[in-house]
């Protein structure tokens, strides 16, 4: 046996162990190599915009598909995968669903899972004459829900000019906030709509119109992300233009849609990260009320870097984050884009996008510690670029599974066409040991379940240590810390959990974590 053959065999045996032991690398248990690639139309494009993780582990992806030779061919594209990366044949038509409207292009930009298994999509519809905000509701199998607006799809206009939907959030009372961009006064402005759960416009919002629009900056502006505070106030991460340069910005509204003047005195803030262009793209709201906005910025005339800012609840920059509230990361020292950000249960921030390597964009990720500094335990000293496809690949959306693994949705460029691409990455502390770490035995049980206001969490563990209990919604976002760090002795222990009365009824995930092990279990909250 040659040395080359022996080396190849050893790499084949050890590679799965090395991958599982390194945060930020592909998970080979997903679709054999960590990535699942799917096309929709023969000779057509398909581009993923957002991803959601279902309680049963299945992965729902939304975006658009179109034929390059047809002016009115774009349709909403839906796709569902099984937890192992194979296509879920029980969804749509053999796992896929395309939804269009006569004489209009349509696309979906955001998705929101509902407690009854249905889901909402926010997006756009357009042709050569008109543009529309689009809001759609689908049944769990991917079919449009006729109980929502008559045929499952709502189209709304605030003017006769450019307008489209970019973001989505559902309030605890079931009302729907749809954010986007519209040309109302000659410039594009941030717009936020509110709808009742059945799809009718909520005229109590925005002084009777059902929407609010806020001029921001010198000219062009728009919504990138909507977030809902526990007190009902509405946070909106935006882009805004100052002196012909894009900048990071944020708005905050009271629950009725009026500006919240306790947020930077007039309800709006704009931040200049660099002297050049700054492009926000996503945001998360931390449990402590701080706001993290992520995007990319111009670091040299021809180069950009990933950029993150953290804002205090009053609208000021958080000087304790990064470098006086701002962190800039360069993962390739070339042109980089940051598309999405995810908040881990431990407070670390996961960033996903793309970076230009030798003229081709490839998947790029980075992770920050809670204080905004690079996390050296992730990838290669805090960041990593994956050359997943020779012709190009990227991340548009990120989600965290209950077990901590990272799921991304984006595109692979194959044979001159965009294709849906979903990848799964490991997310554990790296180790130099080739052996898998042995996790102590631990069992958890919650009763009663369904839960109303309080429940008992019973834990039986071989080891002792600090234990935290966090509640997550079906979007993978942390809703509340139910138990801070408490010392958990070995053996059987009980923790009383109290569920706030303002939490809406529905399905959630409970994450119980210690330094040695993590366990998750589903729960149903009743009211």
In terms of Cα–Cα distance, which of 164, 92, 152 is closest to 127? 164
Q: What is the mean pLDDT of residues 320-333?
A: 93
What's the confidence (pLDDT) of residue 476? 64
Query: What's the per-residue H, E or C state across 36-67?
Result: EEECCCCCCEEEEEEEEECCCCCEEEEEEEEC
Q: CA-to-CA distance for 109 and 96, rounded, in angstroms? A: 17
What's the confidence (pLDDT) of residue 3? 39
Percent of the chain scoring above 90 in pLDDT: 63
pLDDT digits (tens, 9 = 90+) for 201-241: 999 998 888 999 999 988 899 999 999 999 999 999 999 99
Residues recorded for the chain: 527
Task: Tell me which DSSP letter residue 411 carries.
Answer: E
Q: CA-to-CA distance for 250 and 226, rounded, in angstroms? A: 10
Q: CA-to-CA distance for 158 and 191, rounded, in angstroms? A: 9
494-526: burial string, b at 16+ Cβ within 10 Å, e else: ebebebeeebeebbbbbbbbbebbbbbeebebe
Contact 444, 456 (CB under 8 A): no
CB count in 10 Å sphere of residue 527: 11
**Distance from the Cα of residue 298 to its chain's centroid:** 24
In terms of Cα–Cα distance, which of 303, 309, 367, 373 is closest to 332? 303
Distances (CA, A) of 218 to 127, 221, 238, 364: 29, 9, 14, 32
Contact 191, 212 (CB under 8 A): yes
In the chain, what are the domains? 100-272 (2.115.10.20), 442-525 (2.60.40.1930)
Residue 262 phi, psi dihedral angles, 5° rounding: -80, -5
Residue 440 pLDDT grade (very low, low, confident, very high; cuts 50, 70, 90): low
State the residue for tokens 């939804």: 99
SS3 for 4? helix
Q: CA-to-CA distance for 523 and 507, rounded, in angstroms? A: 6
pLDDT digits (tens, 9 = 90+) for 113-167: 999 999 999 999 999 999 999 999 999 999 999 999 889 999 999 988 889 999 9
pLDDT digits (tens, 9 = 90+) for 449-482: 888 889 999 888 887 778 888 888 766 677 888 8
**Cis bond before residue 448 (omega within 30° of 0):** yes
What's the confidence (pLDDT) of residue 321? 97
Q: What is the mean pLDDT of residues 297-322?
A: 93
Q: What share of the chain is helix, strand, coil (3-state, %, to 5)?
A: 5, 50, 45
Contact 255, 311 (CB under 8 A): no
Average model confidence (pLDDT) for the chain? 88
pLDDT digits (tens, 9 = 90+) for 156-188: 999 888 899 999 999 999 999 999 999 988 889
pLDDT at 266 over 90: yes
pLDDT digits (tens, 9 = 90+) for 504-515: 888 888 888 887
Contact 168, 179 (CB under 8 A): yes
Contact 29, 15 (CB under 8 A): no
């Amino acid at each position: 046996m040659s040395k080359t053959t022996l080396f190849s065999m050893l790499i084949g045996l050890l590679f799965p162990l090395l991958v599982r032991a390194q945060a930020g690398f592909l998970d080979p248990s997903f679709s054999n190599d960590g990535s699942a690639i799917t096309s929709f139309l023969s000779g057509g494009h398909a581009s993923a915009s957002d991803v959601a993780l279902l309680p049963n582990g299945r992965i729902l992806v939304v975006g658009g598909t179109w034929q390059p030779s047809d002016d009115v061919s774009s349709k909403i594209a839906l796709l569902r995968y099984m937890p192992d990366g194979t296509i879920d044949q029980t969804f749509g038509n053999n796992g896929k669903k395309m939804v269009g409207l006569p004489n209009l292009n349509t696309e979906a930009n955001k998705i929101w899972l509902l407690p009854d298994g249905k889901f909402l999509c926010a997006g756009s519809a357009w042709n050569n004459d008109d543009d529309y905000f689009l809001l759609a509701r689908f049944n769990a199998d991917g079919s449009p829900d006729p109980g929502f607006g008559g045929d499952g799809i709502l189209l709304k206009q605030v003017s006769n000019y450019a307008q489209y939907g970019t973001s989505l959030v559902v309030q605890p009372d079931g009302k729907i906030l749809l954010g986007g961009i519209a040309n109302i006064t000659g410039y594009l402005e941030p717009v936020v709509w509110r709808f009742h759960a059945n799809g009718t416009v909520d005229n109590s919002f925005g002084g009777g119109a059902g929407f609010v629009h806020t001029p921001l900056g010198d000219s062009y502006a728009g919504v990138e992300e909507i977030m809902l505070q526990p007190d009902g106030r509405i946070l909106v991460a935006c882009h805004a233009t100052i002196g012909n340069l894009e900048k990071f910005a944020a708005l905050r509204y009271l629950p009725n849609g009026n500006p919240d003047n306790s947020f930077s005195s007039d309800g709006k803030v704009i931040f200049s990260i660099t002297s050049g262009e700054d492009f926000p793209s996503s945001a998360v709201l931390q449990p402590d009320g701080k706001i993290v906005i992520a995007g990319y910025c111009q670091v040299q005339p021809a180069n950009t870097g990933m950029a993150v800012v953290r804002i205090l609840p009053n609208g000021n920059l958080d000087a304790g984050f990064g470098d006086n509230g701002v962190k800039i990361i360069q993962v390739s020292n070339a042109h980089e884009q940051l598309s999405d950000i995810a908040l881990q249960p431990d407070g670390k921030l996961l960033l996903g996008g793309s970076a230009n390597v030798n003229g081709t964009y490839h998947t790029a990720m980075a992770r920050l510690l809670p204080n905004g500094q690079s996390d050296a335990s992730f990838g290669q000293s805090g960041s990593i670029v994956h050359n997943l496809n020779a012709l190009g690949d990227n991340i548009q959306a990120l989600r965290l599974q209950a077990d901590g693994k990272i799921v991304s949705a984006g595109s692979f460029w194959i044979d001159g066409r965009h294709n849906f691409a979903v990848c799964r990455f490991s997310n554990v502390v790296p180790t130099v040991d080739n052996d898998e770490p042995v996790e102590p035995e631990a069992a958890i049980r919650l009763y009663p379940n369904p839960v109303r206001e309080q429940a008992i969490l019973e834990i039986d563990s071989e080891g002792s240590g600090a234990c935290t209990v966090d509640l997550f919604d079906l979007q993978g976002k942390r809703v509340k810390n139910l138990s801070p760090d408490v010392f958990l002795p070995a053996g059987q222990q009980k923790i009383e959990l109290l569920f706030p009365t303002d939490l809406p009824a529905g399905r959630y995930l409970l994450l119980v974590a210690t330094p040695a092990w993590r366990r998750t279990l589903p729960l149903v909250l009743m009211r």
